[in-house]
């Protein structure tokens, strides 16, 4: 113990330093004081420093020349302090340049009243500081702080074995779940289902009443008792008011004197969520300044990881020792999550789902392209003639391609599994301040197939916009596929988890299936057809959409099945029907789960095992339901998607909207290194449209310090806390926001109603006339709407492999299966009631089947004979 540690404590402490004899040291109030798991949460530090856990200690780089002690702080908040109780605070510290720590236990906010304030010298060798005090006031959420600024030279300060003993046993955590009446806090589509859940011990039905904003009764009825809901262990009733279709805001539901959060009924509910969920990706770009013009001052930040100190990467990155002897420029891409790692396996599913959000506008009648198009989103590339969603996806695609092992090196064509910091960094930290060495980790078959799949999808989608990039994607995809075939069992090491996540996966048959499906769809080549058809997974719904889970970064076969069933390809009609039935069978199961559960969600894992990122499993099941709805038009699928949205936005056991900025009780303290407002008020909360991982049944035993403290014994759907320290329940990541973006886009289209069959404003007649060595196709497109369309552009995907030869009366472009027809000078205007005729010959001697889906300036047309 140092001499200083014998000094008397704090400004407001009651005099006297001895602990009462009969009280003993008392319970521990500090969480994660020994940094044993390698993680720093829930510790925080001022953003002018960087910190990392190294050898079981938290080490902070203190900058030179700060003015005051409080300019550099390491702290832990939410420590309960009780008036009149005695405490002992102790820690071990060292500093490469000796300094004096201002040790504080105080309020976290103004007026920062202290219950302990001492000055404690710390030298270059480990110094144990021990302080005792008796609290003169209650501080239910005190902040323990080591203030270490104010010194001239820079220094490295390391901390270990922090303990604050005394006071009362920490209270048992009881979540604040607000009203027992649970609804979608954003609202309901006018023509969708409108269900809710109420927690109650009543055995008999209760009366529910929907009140409009002016207090009048809009609808009323009786609840349905459902008994105990196993996901929450709550006794619940359900209610529904589907028939209420009057558009409005500020509705509430009352049951038994309890009132729900307010909500709206309107068709444009999901308009903002579509662009916010997509903006998440720009916000989290690596290697580019985040521009205030696009995101506002609060979210703007300098470019991270562009090779400028203190960053050590990402433009020239070595491998981990012994892995390779070259260096790669792997700049760009998106940060994975709350951490700054970049992982090919997780980047793959994320970019695929963004590209599929776009691709759906080409293949699904109900999908609109306007809100994803050039100029529609907040990306710096707006105005370049390419749909903005593809600009965003390209930021990641370019990075994924950079991760490929160069020709001439061992394992050429394979793809590095991941790149990230050598040691875990802590919160908060802006990307450009990360001082850790960045390292490439060994290639893996899974990462290689992620590149094969996504680059194949890239090839067909970018062809109309940038042929050279599309070619580059195709070459990368085919090279990756060949390399994966040569090295089919190179698995990521499950123990390679220091400084970044492992994303290990010991079964890559699903990645092979996904990559084969994408390559086959883009190229039609027989090799890939064989790989699809001979896969054990093909046609097996339980393997493609595993029960309980579904699509995830480690289970990607479903991505391939969704592509095969929606994007025109060279499967036979029977084969296509087979793969579509796999999708609809899975969707039938999810729809049944949604109907059967009291909270309406299409996710029911066996044993209530809500996995890490369970909200993304809900979302991915919603994606399957949405595609099934696109394929069949069956309302039951769309209803289940909508009930899934209800769950995510508030109709759940915690009365929590899991999406930032949406709903009255939204998650806004997610685990993230620079959206770390909870740790540092000068930093922002997550930007609107960020979905939290959600309940994780194993959180309390995962090493997550907040979950350990608060969630032991939780019911599955309640294992969640909106705290920045809870990385296993409350992180945000690209692979969770990608299905959110897909679903928000789907829901926005569903709500607009402009794309319903009755709302169409154009009609296309497509007739094919075969002759001996080719066929002639004539197309008539008619404007059935009230306004002129000028210039017009009609796009469709060819159902077969035909090449267009002679064309007339329009300008044609063909990129693979994508065909667009644009007007000539004399038929630029398509007046209401008018039609234009044009046509082409194809090389195929059999009839060219009607593609079914035609988009006139991005909106679907009816099929049939024009009038
Ligand atoms: O999302 C991943 C989840 O499925 C795994 O169970 C978990 C443990 O391996 O890792 C999650 O991914 C994290 C990754 O390893 C590092 N970046 C943050 C990711 C989300 O928490």
**Pocket probe mutation, ligand 1, options 503, 614, 698, 707, max atoms within 8 Å of Cβ:** 503
| CATH code of residue 794 | 2.60.40.290
505 C-beta closer than 6 A to ligand 1 = no
499 C-beta closer than 6 A to ligand 1 = no
Query: Could you tell me if residue 522 is inside a domain?
Result: no
335 C-beta closer than 6 A to ligand 1 = no
What distances in angstroms separate CA 727 from CA 41, 420, 617, 722, 783, one per listed residue?
Answer: 8, 17, 17, 10, 53
**Pocket probe mutation, ligand 1, options 501, 551, 690, max atoms within 8 Å of Cβ:** 501
Ligand 1 centroid to Cα of residue 503, in Å, is: 7
Q: Where are the alpha helices (DSSP H) in 403-553?
A: 445-462, 467-486, 509-523, 526-534, 541-544
613 C-beta closer than 6 A to ligand 1 = yes
Nearest CA to 173 out of 726, 730, 713, 717 is that of 713
337 C-beta closer than 6 A to ligand 1 = yes
Nearest CA to 821 out of 834, 810, 829 is that of 810
336 C-beta closer than 6 A to ligand 1 = yes
Please, which residues bridge with residue 163 across strands? 90
Nearest CA to ligand 1 atom 10: 501
Pairing of strands 762-771, 862-863: parallel
Helix or strand (DSSP H, E) at 630: helix 614-632
733 C-beta closer than 6 A to ligand 1 = yes
Q: Could you write out the DSSP letters of every residue in 142-165?
A: EEEEEE----SS-EEEEEEEEEEE
Nearest CA to ligand 1 atom 15: 501
CA atoms of 551 and 557, how far apart (whole Å): 7
End residue of a domain, out of 756, 781, 803 = 756
CA-338 nearest atom, ligand 1: 18
Nearest CA to 594 out of 643, 555, 545, 535 is that of 643
854 C-beta closer than 6 A to ligand 1 = no
419, 424, 430, 432 alpha-carbon torsion, rounded to 10°: -50
CA-336 nearest atom, ligand 1: 17
End residue of a domain, out of 494, 513, 539 = 494
Q: Looking at the structure, tell me whether residues 55 and 199 fall in a common domain.
A: no
Ligand 1 centroid to Cα of residue 18, in Å, is: 46
Tell me the pLDDT tens digit for each residue of 628-670.
Answer: 999 999 999 999 999 999 999 999 999 999 999 999 999 999 9
Ligand 1 centroid to Cα of residue 613, in Å, is: 8
Neighbours of 308 (CB within 10 A): 12
What distances in angstroms separate CA 543 from CA 227, 356, 516, 592, one per listed residue?
Answer: 33, 21, 16, 19
Q: Is 636 helix (H, G, I), strand (E, B) or coil?
A: helix
| CATH code of residue 207 | 1.50.10.10
753 C-beta closer than 6 A to ligand 1 = no
Nearest CA to ligand 1 atom 7: 612
Q: Is 443 helix (H, G, I), strand (E, B) or coil?
A: strand
- Structural contact between residues 124 and 206, judged by C-beta atoms closer than 8 angstroms: no
Q: Looking at the structure, tell me whether residues 661 and 738 fall in a common domain.
A: yes
Q: Looking at the structure, tell me whether residues 695 and 770 fall in a common domain.
A: no
**Pocket probe mutation, ligand 1, options 613, 693, 702, 727, max atoms within 8 Å of Cβ:** 613
Phi and psi based region of residue 432 (left: phi greater than 0; alpha: psi -120 to 50; beta: remaining): alpha
Ligand 1 centroid to Cα of residue 60, in Å, is: 25
Q: Looking at the structure, tell me whether residues 286 and 246 fall in a common domain.
A: no
- Please give the pLDDT value at position 13: 32
CA-613 nearest atom, ligand 1: 1
Nearest CA to ligand 1 atom 8: 501
Residue 196 backbone dihedrals phi, psi, to 5 degrees: -145, 175
Query: What residue has token string 């699809």?
Result: 532
Q: Looking at the structure, tell me whether residues 247 and 289 fall in a common domain.
A: no
Neighbours of 278 (CB within 10 A): 29
Query: Could you tell me if residue 587 is inside a domain?
Result: no
Q: Looking at the structure, tell me whether residues 358 and 380 fall in a common domain.
A: yes
Nearest CA to ligand 1 atom 14: 501
Half-sphere exposure of 354 (CA within 13 A, CB side): 33
Ligand 1 centroid to Cα of residue 443, in Å, is: 19
267 C-beta closer than 6 A to ligand 1 = no
- Please give the pLDDT value at position 170: 76
Residues in the chain with pLDDT values less than 70: 1-24, 753-758, 845-847, 865-867
Q: Looking at the structure, tell me whether residues 241 and 105 fall in a common domain.
A: no
What distances in angstroms separate CA 843 from CA 520, 568, 768, 802, 806, one per listed residue?
Answer: 21, 18, 12, 6, 10
End residue of a domain, out of 717, 733, 756 = 756
Query: Could you tell me if residue 521 is inside a domain?
Result: no
Residues 6+ apart with CB under 8 A from 597: 229, 231, 604
Specify burial of residue 569 (Cβ count, 10 A radius: 0-12, 13-18, 19+): buried
The range of the structural domain enclosing residue 781 comes to: 762-865
- Structural contact between residues 654 and 636, judged by C-beta atoms closer than 8 angstroms: no
CA-341 nearest atom, ligand 1: 17
Nearest CA to ligand 1 atom 4: 612
- Please give the pLDDT value at position 740: 98
Neighbours of 48 (CB within 10 A): 14
CA atoms of 477 and 521, how far apart (whole Å): 13
Q: Looking at the structure, tell me whether residues 162 and 177 fall in a common domain.
A: no
Query: Could you tell me if residue 511 is inside a domain?
Result: no
Catalytic residues: 339, 671, 722, 731
Q: Looking at the structure, tell me whether residues 412 and 464 fall in a common domain.
A: yes
**Pocket probe mutation, ligand 1, options 286, 345, 493, 612, max atoms within 8 Å of Cβ:** 612
- Please give the pLDDT value at position 525: 96
Tell me the pLDDT tens digit for each residue of 13-30.
Answer: 333 333 334 446 789 999
Q: Could you write out the DSSP letters of every residue in 739-805?
A: HHHHHHHHHHHHHH-TTSGGG--EEEEEEEEEETTEEEEEEEEEE-SSS-BSS--EEEE-SS---EE
- Please give the pLDDT value at position 7: 30
Strand boundaries in 181-278, DSSP class E: 181-182, 187-188, 195-199, 207-211, 217-222, 224-229, 234-240, 248-255, 258-259, 263-265
Query: Could you tell me if residue 583 is inside a domain?
Result: no
**Pocket probe mutation, ligand 1, options 39, 333, 337, max atoms within 8 Å of Cβ:** 337
Nearest CA to ligand 1 atom 18: 337
502 C-beta closer than 6 A to ligand 1 = yes
- Please give the pLDDT value at position 845: 63
Residue 152 backbone dihedrals phi, psi, to 5 degrees: -75, -55
Query: Could you tell me if residue 245 is inside a domain?
Result: yes
Q: Looking at the structure, tell me whether residues 797 and 689 fall in a common domain.
A: no
- For 370, which DSSP code? G
Residues 6+ apart with CB under 8 A from 677: 668, 669, 683, 684, 685
CA atoms of 310 and 570, how far apart (whole Å): 52
Ligand 1 centroid to Cα of residue 737, in Å, is: 14
Nearest CA to ligand 1 atom 12: 501
Nearest CA to 610 out of 731, 739, 719 is that of 719
Q: Looking at the structure, tell me whether residues 345 and 200 fall in a common domain.
A: no
Nearest CA to ligand 1 atom 13: 501
Specify burial of residue 309 (Cβ count, 10 A radius: 0-12, 13-18, 19+): exposed
CA-735 nearest atom, ligand 1: 1
Query: What residue has token string 């501080």?
Result: 139
| CATH code of residue 112 | 2.60.120.260
CA atoms of 328 and 318, how far apart (whole Å): 7
Query: Could you tell me if residue 657 is inside a domain?
Result: yes
Domain count, the chain: 4
CA-554 nearest atom, ligand 1: 4
Nearest CA to ligand 1 atom 6: 612
Ligand 1 centroid to Cα of residue 501, in Å, is: 6
Q: Looking at the structure, tell me whether residues 242 and 342 fall in a common domain.
A: no
Query: Could you tell me if residue 567 is inside a domain?
Result: no
Ligand 1 centroid to Cα of residue 693, in Å, is: 10
Query: What residue has token string 């929450």?
Result: 232
Ligand 1 centroid to Cα of residue 775, in Å, is: 53
């Amino acid at each position: 113990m140092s001499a200083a540690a014998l000094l008397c404590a704090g400004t407001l402490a009651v005099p006297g330093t001895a602990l009462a004899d009969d009280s003993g040291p008392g319970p521990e109030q500090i969480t994660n004081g020994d940094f044993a798991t390698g993680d720093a949460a829930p510790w925080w530090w001022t953003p002018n420093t960087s910190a990392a856990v190294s050898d079981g200690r938290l080490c902070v780089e203190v900058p030179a020349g700060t003015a005051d002690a409080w300019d550099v702080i390491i702290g832990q908040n939410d420590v309960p302090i009780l008036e009149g109780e005695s405490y002992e605070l102790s820690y071990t510290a060292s500093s490469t340049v000796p300094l004096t720590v201002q040790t504080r236990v105080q309020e976290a906010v103004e007026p920062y009243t202290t219950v302990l304030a001492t000055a404690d010298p710390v030298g270059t060798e480990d110094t144990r500081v021990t302080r005792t005090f008796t609290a003169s006031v209650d501080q239910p959420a005190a902040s323990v702080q080591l203030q270490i600024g104010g010194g001239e030279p820079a220094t490295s300060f390391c901390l270990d074995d922090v303990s604050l003993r005394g006071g009362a046993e920490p209270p048992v955590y009881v979540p604040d779940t607000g009203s027992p009446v649970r609804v979608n806090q954003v609202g309901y589509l006018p023509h969708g289902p409108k269900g809710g859940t109420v927690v109650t011990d009543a055995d008999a039905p209760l009366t529910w009443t929907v009140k409009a904003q002016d207090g009048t009764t809009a609808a009323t009825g009786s609840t349905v008792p459902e008994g105990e809901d196993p996901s929450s262990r709550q006794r619940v009733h359900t209610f529904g008011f589907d028939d209420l279709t009057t558009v409005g805001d500020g509705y509430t539901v009352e049951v038994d004197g309890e009132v729900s959060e307010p909500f709206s009924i309107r068709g444009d509910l999901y308009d903002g969520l579509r662009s916010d969920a997509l903006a998440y990706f720009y916000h989290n770009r690596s290697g580019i300044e985040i521009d205030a013009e696009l995101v506002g001052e609060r979210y703007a930040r300098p470019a991270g990881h562009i090779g400028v100190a203190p960053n050590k990467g990402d433009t020239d990155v070595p491998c981990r020792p012994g892995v390779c002897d070259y260096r790669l420029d792997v700049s760009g891409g998106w940060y994975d999550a709350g951490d700054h790692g970049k992982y090919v396996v997780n980047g793959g599913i994320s970019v695929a789902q963004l590209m599929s959000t776009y691709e759906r506008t080409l293949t699904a009648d109900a999908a609109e392209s306007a809100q994803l198009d050039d100029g529609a989103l907040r990306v710096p590339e707006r105005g370049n003639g390419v749909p903005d969603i593809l600009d965003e996806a390209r930021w990641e695609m370019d990075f994924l391609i950079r991760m490929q092992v160069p020709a001439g090196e061992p394992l050429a064509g394979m793809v590095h599994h991941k790149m990230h910091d050598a040691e875990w960094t802590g919160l908060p930290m802006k990307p450009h301040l990360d001082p850790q060495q960045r390292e490439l980790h060994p290639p893996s078959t899974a990462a290689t197939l992620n590149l094969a799949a996504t680059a194949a999808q890239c090839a067909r989608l970018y062809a109309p916009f940038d042929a050279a990039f599309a070619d580059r994607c195709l070459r990368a995809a085919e090279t990756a596929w060949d390399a994966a075939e040569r090295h089919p069992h190179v698995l990521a090491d499950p123990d390679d988890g220091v400084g970044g996540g492992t994303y290990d996966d010991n079964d890559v048959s699903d990645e092979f299936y996904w990559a084969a499906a994408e390559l086959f769809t883009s190229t039609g080549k027989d090799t890939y057809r064989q790989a699809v058809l001979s896969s054990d997974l093909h046609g097996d719904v339980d393997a493609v959409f595993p029960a309980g889970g579904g699509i995830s970064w480690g289970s990607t076969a479903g991505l391939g099945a969704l592509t095969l069933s929606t994007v025109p390809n060279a499967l036979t009609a029977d084969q296509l029907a087979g793969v579509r039935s796999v999708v609809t069978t899975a969707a039938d199961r999810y729809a049944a789960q949604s109907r059967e559960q009291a909270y309406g969600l299409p996710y029911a894992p066996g044993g209530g095992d809500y996995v890490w990122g369970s909200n993304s499993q809900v979302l991915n099941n919603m994606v399957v339901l949405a595609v099934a709805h696109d394929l069949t038009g069956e309302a039951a699928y769309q209803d289940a998607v909508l009930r899934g949205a209800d769950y995510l936005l508030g109709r759940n056991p915690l009365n929590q909207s899991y999406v930032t900025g949406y709903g009255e009780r939204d998650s806004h303290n997610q685990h993230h290194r620079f959206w770390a407002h909870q740790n540092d008020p000068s930093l922002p909360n997550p930007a609107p449209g960020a979905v939290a991982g959600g309940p994780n049944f194993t959180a309390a035993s995962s090493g997550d310090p907040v979950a350990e403290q608060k969630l032991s014994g939780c019911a599955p759907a309640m294992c969640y806390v909106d705290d920045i320290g809870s990385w296993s329940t409350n992180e945000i990541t690209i692979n969770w926001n990608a299905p959110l973006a897909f679903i928000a886009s789907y829901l926005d289209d569903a709500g607009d109603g402009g794309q319903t069959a009755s709302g169409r404003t154009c009609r296309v007649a497509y007739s094919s006339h075969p002759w001996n060595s080719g066929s002639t196709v004539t197309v008539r497109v008619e404007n059935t709407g009230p306004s002129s369309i000028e210039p017009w552009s009609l796009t469709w995907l060819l159902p077969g492999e035909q090449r267009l030869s002679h064309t007339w009366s329009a300008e044609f472009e063909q990129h693979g299966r994508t065909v667009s027809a644009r007007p000539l000078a004399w038929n630029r205007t398509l007046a209401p009631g008018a039609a234009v005729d044009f046509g082409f010959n194809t090389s195929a001697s059999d009839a060219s089947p009607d593609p079914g889906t035609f988009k006139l300036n991005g909106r679907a047309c009816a099929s049939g004979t024009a009038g």
